[in-house]
Chain A
């Protein structure tokens, strides 16, 4: 196949060479990895950073006077600065390392919830939230008597903004919503929503887990109060994530967990807490993970992001057009603004069976509810199959997907 104009600008083969795992051949077939929304693959630079850390930099941070501890602390704090740059936060103090996006959201629910949410206060969620941005708020509701309101989703998989306007009232204290849907691929108009929310006096938490691998997130431009990031979904290691929080909030929030590193001084009578971000980093943090994530942030900042984005848009358009040639296939999520995430059902086969047959062709997709059961219920479904792309995917992989999907029909029809 002739490379398209975008692929000439965006050298996908050159980028693929940065990701060692893409050379695998499961079941003797070239790996076609289309499960990026679940977890993205890692560039060599990230893998090397982990190896380098454990081989020549490993020690605990912020405690020792010795060479290695200082080195590890420097690397860890340098990673914080890299994440600050990636997200364009004003101050590295606003970058809290967490164990992931789930942990980041739980931090806000527990800590912000304790001080700023009173019984009867409303938190506005959307119908397309991941369970990680539903359950922490339900736990808080049961603990603190807050009220949850849910913005519905249209048939196309977009937010019903008219209903959002009605649900956003002076009782709304926080809007907690997904930036990009992990199931539908929908990119929500978050800047507009943030402006409206602030005008009503509500703070905004963005779940950016799926946004980070596809979009440039500029927290100052967006104006969000909090943003949750999952390291492993943005080409970094597992077990690490980031909570961005505006200093005005973090400085007024109590710690959500107690332990070492988050204190100024401890006596049995009284403990004073460290300032953010250390206040929210009790215990030994995921040091290697954070350093690896800093490397992933560098990788993304060094990428020609505009070219990568248009390559992704082209992949999405091509995949959308091609899968529609498969009889009985229905795409769930047809928003005007999407990242390359393609969820679908097939008349002939259950998503699990689709995934199973595709695996035999080396094509890795996800089947299930993708931790968005309320969203699936809204579409009257128990599960979907989902092909999710990253910038390192290529047109030939769309062809492999579509050819395997035709084979699914041959098996089950």
Chain B
């Protein structure tokens, strides 16, 4: 049964209440804006780079508990990663979000990302969970246009 308790893990609610690395970054090296056209959610992701490596990452904007907490967890996960490493983390996260509900999670490989396992029961929320990630990846690739999850 699609019980919301499966979705709103304690850690998710905590990140929603007090998101990490939340706010504007002055003079970022890279930035991108992401929209969810369906619900009007919008995030801006800022990156400070050191060569190919993410030195610092921040985000601001408005979104639901899933999109906001996912953005918050993402900033922690991606700090210190190279572009290729960041892509690999996102690929792993996306594969988990879109996997069969109830299938076993590789919690060791996923680490903190495993808290979003409940999203699999609510396919409509997958877009919320990946919005900030798409936006960050687009910033890393220097895409000038806003990202839309539609």
In the bound complex, how far is the Cα of B42 from the Cα of A28, in angstroms?
34
Q: Is B91 an interface residue (CB 8 A)?
A: no
B40 lies within 8 A of A28 (CB): no
Q: Is B137 an interface residue (CB 8 A)?
A: no
In the bound complex, how far is the Cα of B65 from the Cα of A349, in angstroms?
7
C-beta contact mask, B1-33 vs A, less than 8 Å → 1, else 0?
111110110000100110000000000000000
In the bound complex, how far is the Cα of B125 from the Cα of A367, in angstroms?
12
A262: shortest Cβ distance to chain B, in Å? 34
Q: Are A368 and B40 CB-contacts (below 8 A) given A353-B65, A411-B8? A: yes
Interface size grouping (class) on chain B: 20 to 34
In the bound complex, how far is the Cα of B2 from the Cα of A356, in angstroms?
10
Residues of A within 8 A of B64 (CB): 350-353
B39 lies within 8 A of A27 (CB): no
For chain A, residues 120 to 139, give those with C-beta under 8 angstroms from any C-beta of chain B.
none
In the bound complex, how far is the Cα of B8 from the Cα of A411, in angstroms?
8
A190: shortest Cβ distance to chain B, in Å? 28
| CB-contact partner of A356 in B1, B38, B41, B125, under 8 A | B125
B40 lies within 8 A of A376 (CB): yes
C-beta contact mask, A3-29 vs B, less than 8 Å → 1, else 0?
000000000000000000000000110
Q: Are A28 and B1 CB-contacts (below 8 A) given A368-B38, A369-B40? A: yes
A360 lies within 8 A of B39 (CB): no
Q: Is A357 an interface residue (CB 8 A)?
A: yes
B16 lies within 8 A of A351 (CB): no
In the bound complex, how far is the Cα of B1 from the Cα of A367, in angstroms?
21
Q: Are A352 and B39 CB-contacts (below 8 A) given A411-B8, A411-B13, A412-B13? A: yes
Residues of B within 8 A of A357 (CB): 4, 8
Q: Are A360 and B3 CB-contacts (below 8 A) given A369-B39, A412-B16? A: yes
C-beta contact mask, A347-388 vs B, less than 8 Å → 1, else 0?
001111100110110000001110001001000001100000
Which A residue sits closest to B65, measured CB to CB? A353
A382: shortest Cβ distance to chain B, in Å? 4
A359 lies within 8 A of B16 (CB): no
B4 lies within 8 A of A411 (CB): yes
Interface size grouping (class) on chain A: 20 to 34
A233: shortest Cβ distance to chain B, in Å? 20
Q: Is B88 an interface residue (CB 8 A)?
A: no
B4 lies within 8 A of A383 (CB): no
Q: Are A350 and B13 CB-contacts (below 8 A) given A360-B2, A373-B40, A383-B39? A: no
Residues of B within 8 A of A376 (CB): 40
Residues of B within 8 A of A369 (CB): 39-40
B120: shortest Cβ distance to chain A, in Å? 14
Which B residue sits closest to A411, measured CB to CB? B8
Q: Are A356 and B4 CB-contacts (below 8 A) given A350-B63, A382-B62? A: yes
In the bound complex, how far is the Cα of B21 from the Cα of A160, in angstroms?
42
For chain A, residues 52 to 85, give those with C-beta under 8 angstroms from any C-beta of chain B.
none
A168: shortest Cβ distance to chain B, in Å? 31
Which B residue sits closest to A408, measured CB to CB? B4
Residues of B within 8 A of A352 (CB): 39, 41, 64-66, 125, 128
Residues of A within 8 A of B38 (CB): 368
| CB-contact partner of B4 in A351, A359, A382, under 8 A | A359
In the bound complex, how far is the Cα of B40 from the Cα of A27, in angstroms?
28
Instruction: Give the residue among A27, A356, A367, A369 with the most B Cβ atoms within 10 A.
Output: A356
Which A residue sits closest to B17, measured CB to CB? A412
Residues of A within 8 A of B4 (CB): 356-357, 359-360, 411
B122: shortest Cβ distance to chain A, in Å? 7
A380: shortest Cβ distance to chain B, in Å? 11
A27 lies within 8 A of B3 (CB): yes
Residues of A within 8 A of B1 (CB): 27-28
Residues of B within 8 A of A360 (CB): 2-5
Residues of B within 8 A of A28 (CB): 1
Residues of A within 8 A of B3 (CB): 27, 360
A120: shortest Cβ distance to chain B, in Å? 33
For chain A, residues 329 to 354, give those with C-beta under 8 angstroms from any C-beta of chain B.
349-353
In the bound complex, how far is the Cα of B4 from the Cα of A359, in angstroms?
8
In the bound complex, how far is the Cα of B112 from the Cα of A208, in angstroms?
50
Q: Are A356 and B122 CB-contacts (below 8 A) given A350-B64, A411-B4? A: yes
Question: Chain B interface (Cβ within 8 Å of chain A)?
Answer: 1-5, 7-8, 13, 16-17, 38-42, 62-66, 68, 122, 125, 128
Closest 7 pairs (CB-CB, A-B): A382-B40, A350-B64, A352-B64, A360-B4, A368-B39, A369-B40, A383-B40
Question: Chain A interface (Cβ within 8 Å of chain B)?
Answer: 27-28, 349-353, 356-357, 359-360, 367-369, 373, 376, 382-383, 411-412
Of the A-B pairs whose beta carbons lie under 8 Å apart in the complex, a sample of 15, sorted by A's number, is: A27-B1, A350-B63, A350-B65, A350-B68, A352-B65, A356-B4, A359-B2, A367-B39, A368-B38, A369-B40, A382-B39, A411-B4, A412-B13, A412-B16, A412-B17
